Amino acid sequence: MDGPPSTPSYVKIFRNTGHEEQLAIYNNVVFKGTQTLITGTMKSLVLSQLHHAHKVIQCTLRLAREHFFRDGMTQDVTEYSRKCATTVFHANIAWER
Ligand SMILES: [Zn+2]
């Protein structure tokens, strides 16, 4: 008889944290499904890579939520986009058309 699938040893279940999901930790990187936790040391690199195409905030947020998670990520992505001179310039041109 087959039982429930066994949980790999590198997967830990965090309970009573507000995040009842299974989080996997592999090589000190935390995953939630297909999303990767953005830690403090990788935050600036991830923000710049997410924003490299200078897309509007909504596009960058969608991309960020697809691949990453972190408390305050929405605010971080929004502030990063609003401070980018290239993105602001192109947004203003689009509004003037
Ligand atoms: Zn930009």
- Ligand 1 centroid–CA 80 distance in Å is 8
- Expressed as residue numbers, the domain containing 89 is 40-97
**Do both 51 and 20 map to the same domain?**
no
Query: 23 C-alpha vs ligand 1 centroid, how far in Å?
Result: 32
Q: Are 21 and 33 in contact (CB under 8 A)?
A: yes
Query: 39-50: per-residue pLDDT in tens?
Result: 888 999 999 999
Q: Which residues contact 81 (CB under 8 A, 6 or more apart)?
A: 51, 56, 57, 60, 87
Domain co-membership, 78 together with 31: no
| Same domain as 74, residue 61 | yes
Is the whole-model pTM more than 0.85?
no
Taking only the tens place, the pLDDT of each residue in 46-81 is 999 999 988 888 999 999 999 999 999 999 999 999
48: CA distance to ligand 1 center in Å?
9
Q: How far is the CA of 52 from the centre of ligand 1 (A)?
A: 7
Residues 55 and 85 grouped into a single domain: yes
Residue 1: inside a domain? no
Instruction: State whether 82 and 45 are in the same domain.
Output: yes
